[in-house]
Amino acid sequence: MNFINSLTTHKIVEPNKLNALRTGNMVAQAPYRQVAAETYLDNGAILFLDTAAELVLGNHANAQLEQPFLHYTEENMNGPVLGTKYFTVDLDELIGATPVCYPRALALEVGDEFTTDNIAGVIPAAGTKKFAILAAGVLTIADAIPTTAYEGPLFVVDRDTLAAGTVAAHLTLIKKHLVVTV
C-alpha cells in the first residue's frame, strides 16, 4: 500500500501576479489564533489584521476590513512526499490555552491575481466570469456583485487548473474594500 495516498491533502495557492512578492508588503510575525475546532490554516485563506494587530478571518468582530491579506506559504518538501497539496500551517503553538500559528500573509492590491482551490461554491465554466466575496470568513463564489449588505474584498473569478490537474479558481482582486449598505 502506498502511504502517500492516505495522507491528508490541503488547499493550494499558485501566485500569478502578487505585488507583495516584489515589494515585501506582507505580515509574517503576527499570530493567527484558532477559530472553533481548526487544527491548521490552509493556503488561500483571506486574512485581515484586527485591532490587536493579529491576523483574523474576515468574519471576526474586530477585523479591519480595509486591507485584505492572502495566506500564502511556499514550502519545499523534500523526500517521499512532494507537492504543495500536502503542506499546511499547523495551529500547534499555545498562547495561554489558545492554539496559534504565524502564517505569511501577503497584502493584496487591486490587480493582484492568484489561483486556488480554497474557495466555496461552483467554479464557473470556461469563458464565464463570476465574482468572489467573503461569506462567513470564507472566499465564496457569487453570481453577481453583492446588492445586499456586504463589506470586504471583491474578486473576479475565472476557471483555471492547478499544476496538479485539479480545477481551481483564478482570482483577480478588483476592489480591496467594497461596502454595500442597504
- Percentage of the chain beyond pLDDT 90 is 60
| Strands 26-27 and 105-107, bridge-based pairing | antiparallel
**Domain segments of the chain as ranges:** 3-180
Among 15, 14, 54, which residue's Cα sits nearest to residue 34?
54
- C-alpha 81 chain-centroid distance: 23
The pLDDT mean for the chain works out to 87
Distance between CA 79 and CA 125 in Å, rounded? 37
Burial annotation 24-46 (CB, 10 A radius, 16+ → b, else e): eeebeebbbbbeeeeeebbbbbb
**pLDDT on residue 76:** 53
| Nearest alpha-carbon partner for 65 in 82, 45, 51 | 51
Percent of the chain clearing pLDDT 70 (strictly above): 86
pLDDT value, residue 60: 85
Compute CA distances 52 → 32, 80, 103, 121, 173, whole Å.
Answer: 11, 40, 16, 32, 26
Residue 132 has pLDDT above 90, yes or no: yes
pLDDT in tens, 58-110: 888 889 999 999 999 876 555 555 566 667 777 777 667 778 888 899 999 99
Residues 21-57 have pLDDT tens digits of 999 999 988 998 877 777 778 889 999 999 999 999 8
Question: Is 1's pLDDT higher than 50?
Answer: no
Q: How many CB atoms lie within 10 A of CB 173?
A: 22
